[in-house]
Structure 1
Amino acid sequence: MSSILTNNGAIVALQTLKNINSSLTKTQNEISTGKSVATAKDNAAVWSISKVMEAEVSGFKTISSNLSMASSAVATAQNGAEQISALMTQMRDAVIAAQNLGAGDTSSRDKVQADIDQLVGQIGTIVSSAQINGMNLLDGSTASFGFLASLDRSAGGTVTAGTIDVTGHDLSQGAYVAQAAFTGSTGASTAADTAAFTMDAATGTGTLVVDAGATYAAGDKLQVTIGGKTASYTFSAADVASTTPADLAAVGLKGAIEALGIADLTVDYDSGTAGTLVLTNGGASDLGVSAQYKNAGAGGLGLLSTITVDTPANASTALANIETMMQDVIAAASDFGSSGKRIDTQIGFLSKLTDTLTMGIGALVDANMEEASARLQALQTQQQLGIQSLSIANQAPSSILALFR
């Protein structure tokens, strides 16, 4: 049946052409944007996942940039500590040279002292200038700092920040104030703020006495070096407020010395005598022991202000102090080196992780350009055929006129 009111062929051709044009528009959008999923309307689930991944990539790039600054700060501190170690080695050599001078050779001692003072000043300059963007890990102003290193997303969508904690070291030269902290110890100095002695192999003993008559403040530190290993104890506010701060410090030092793990070293605490520790060397080698008091405001290298070589005795004390401080500086450089390596490793990992996420996003939303090109040509051909089909269908009602001629 033919009808001049309803052209079924034209309707079918028109619907087909609309579908072809819709697919053609979508394909052209893929080619122009390079994405098969450009908006949430294209595929809501895939679009949502890709946006979360894009946010991760952006966050990791920012973290990586910030970690580069952290790496610079730690590297600066490491280089500073290493340079200070080299300067202290020069200072140590100068003190050793002073020990070989005669007691009356004041002129030579003065020259050595002048060299030492210059080295002390240079160390202070390095400490104060070893900063990046206001962060100084050498002057004691930064006890520790947590650098943001990752954003860890759980299965539930919760994001937790991961940090790399870097510990600062106090290598400053605050004012040192002598304190009679080791009076009664074996080999105690005249001022009793230091003690030094050697324990013979197998049977050697020595006594460390934390002076109960001294007045301590919170932050004061007692440092003991045995066989090249250093233990320390810092007075807390509670210690100072107690009636037996010397006993508390002695017990704390005992634990710290035992934690050094020195073979065949025995540490006995004499509870009957205030603040007294008895050390016994049962090993096969002699053990050198040195102890040093540091007041709270002295800074890690505060003892540099006490380095004098005007007499053989002072030169000997100076050598012991330098040895102790060098251990602190070497430990600082080592810590910064470890932290710097960890930060650099994390930067490398974030770079690879960012690349992997970027490729994952591309796999989700990027258009297959070869497929899109082939589909475009096919749809353009279908469009032309659809237009031709619609044209033929539109001509069909005109044939009815022949019936009325």
Structure 2
Amino acid sequence: MASIMTNSAALTALQSLNNTNKQLETTQARISTGYRVATASDNAAYWSIATTMRSDNKANSVVQDALGLGAGKVDTAYTAMNSAIDVVDQIKQKVLLAKTSSADDRAKIQSEIASLQAQLTDNIGGANYAGSNLLQTDSSSTTSTKLTVMTSYNRDSTGKVTTGTLDVLFSKTRLVDSITGTKTGALDKTFTTTGAGAATVSILTLDVSTATLDSTDFDDLMTGVEAGLKSMASGAAELGAAKSRIDMQKSFLSNLSDSIDKGVGALVDADMNKESTRLQALQVQQQLGVQALSIANGSSQSILSLFRG
């Protein structure tokens, strides 16, 4: 039935064109943003999951920064600790050599030891990173007793958040004690020689040129140096374990961040190959829809021919 009041063909063509335009708009938005789910209205569940995971990834990024800072402090201390151990090893050799040397030779050996002691002081003083020196700390402090490095950000199914930490105790890495009283550092902790040249010294203050030193005194000096080396080895082990843990955690968080990004991408990213193909198809449909609407609108014009004489 031909009607001038209702053009069914035109209405159908218009509905089809509107639907095509809507799909085209959606596809163009996906291509423009790169997202299949850009807002909550696109897919509320996926958008919510993606938003939460992105937030967690930002928190993991902060943890990675904290690990980087902690790694710098621990690596600096670890390098200085190993250097200090090498220097103390040399002092140990010099003390052993001095035991059976003449007074003149002992004076020369002491000159070398003094240079090594100065080197130790320089190495430890220079082991500073971002205001922290793990080798030179105050044993009397009750507020600064350890280096705490944040290692993880954890959120359980109820939303409760906890953070993992790694602690490096200053008491295990202290080589020089900045306290003004009795010192506990591995290098400035005192020990006593019990021979004829009895004295109270530390690795940083021992002097093999003293004329009264006998065999017992040198044995005591060697014992003191060995005790210092043992403490330093324990400190190096503490720093080495912390360094290894931090390095592994940094690698884990990097991989975890990549995995979360991939998971979020699988939920919300647009398939650009698919969308570009769909765009071309919709553009053709749009052109055909416009043409169909034009034909449908033109059909009513044919009714006029019925009234022409």
TM more than 0.5: yes
- The aligned residue for residue 162 of structure 1 is 164
Comparing 58-67 with 332-341, greater Cα deviation is found at 58-67
SS across alignment from 1:149: strand
Could you list the runs of 5+ residues in structure 1 that have no partner in the other structure? 177-294
CA contact (8 A) 2:137 2:177 kept: no
- 1:315 paired to 2:218: yes
> Pick from 219, 231, 242: which aligns with 1:339?
242
**Matches of 1:9 and 1:296, distance apart in 2:** 101
Could you list the runs of 5+ residues in structure 2 that have no partner in the other structure? 139-143, 189-201
Instruction: Return the offset for 1:305.
Output: 4.5
CA contact (8 A) 1:144 1:165 kept: yes
> Pick from 224, 227, 231: which aligns with 1:328?
231
Instruction: Return the offset for 1:44.
Output: 1.9
**Matches of 1:151 and 1:110, distance apart in 2:** 58
CA contact (8 A) 1:95 1:319 kept: yes
**Matches of 1:42 and 1:51, distance apart in 2:** 13
**Matches of 2:185 and 2:276, distance apart in 1:** 71
- The aligned residue for residue 183 of structure 2 is 297
- 1:69 paired to 2:73: no
Cα deviation code 1:272-298 (max 9, x no counterpart) = xxxxxxxxxxxxxxxxxxxxxxx6435
Instruction: Return the offset for 1:85.
Output: 0.9
Aligned AA (2:47): W
Instruction: Return the offset for 1:32.
Output: 1.9
> Pick from 112, 116, 119: which aligns with 2:113?
116
- 1:379 paired to 2:265: no
Instruction: Return the offset for 1:23.
Output: 0.1
Alignment of 1:146-295 (within 5 A): 146-168=148-170, 169-172=173-176
Q: Tell me: CA distance 1:166–1:16, structure 2 relative to 1, closer, same or farther (3 Å).
A: same
Aligned AA (1:27): T
CA contact (8 A) 2:124 2:135 kept: yes
Cα deviation code 1:55-80 (max 9, x no counterpart) = 22233233223322322221111111
Q: Which structure's residues are more often strand, by fraction?
A: 1
Instruction: Return the offset for 1:18.
Output: 0.6
- The aligned residue for residue 246 of structure 1 is none
Q: Tell me: CA distance 1:380–1:175, structure 2 relative to 1, closer, same or farther (3 Å).
A: closer
Q: Tell me: CA distance 1:154–1:298, structure 2 relative to 1, closer, same or farther (3 Å).
A: closer
Q: Tell me: CA distance 1:32–1:305, structure 2 relative to 1, closer, same or farther (3 Å).
A: closer
Higher RCO structure (Cα 8 Å, ≥6 apart): 2
CA contact (8 A) 2:137 2:178 kept: no
Aligned AA (1:4): I
Comparing 37-46 with 19-28, greater Cα deviation is found at 37-46
- The aligned residue for residue 129 of structure 1 is 126
Aligned AA (1:89): D
**Matches of 1:401 and 1:94, distance apart in 2:** 120
Aligned length: 284
- The aligned residue for residue 145 of structure 1 is 147
RMSD between superposed Cα atoms in Å: 2.1
- The aligned residue for residue 30 of structure 1 is 30
Q: Tell me: CA distance 1:174–1:149, structure 2 relative to 1, closer, same or farther (3 Å).
A: closer
- 1:388 paired to 2:295: no
Cα deviation code 1:311-342 (max 9, x no counterpart) = 12432321111111110111111111111011
TM score, norm. by length of structure 2: 0.85
Aligned AA (2:185): G
CA contact (8 A) 1:174 1:301 kept: no
CA contact (8 A) 1:174 1:298 kept: no
Cα deviation code 1:174-219 (max 9, x no counterpart) = 589xxxxxxxxxxxxxxxxxxxxxxxxxxxxxxxxxxxxxxxxxxx
- The aligned residue for residue 40 of structure 2 is 40
Instruction: Return the offset for 1:110.
Output: 2.3
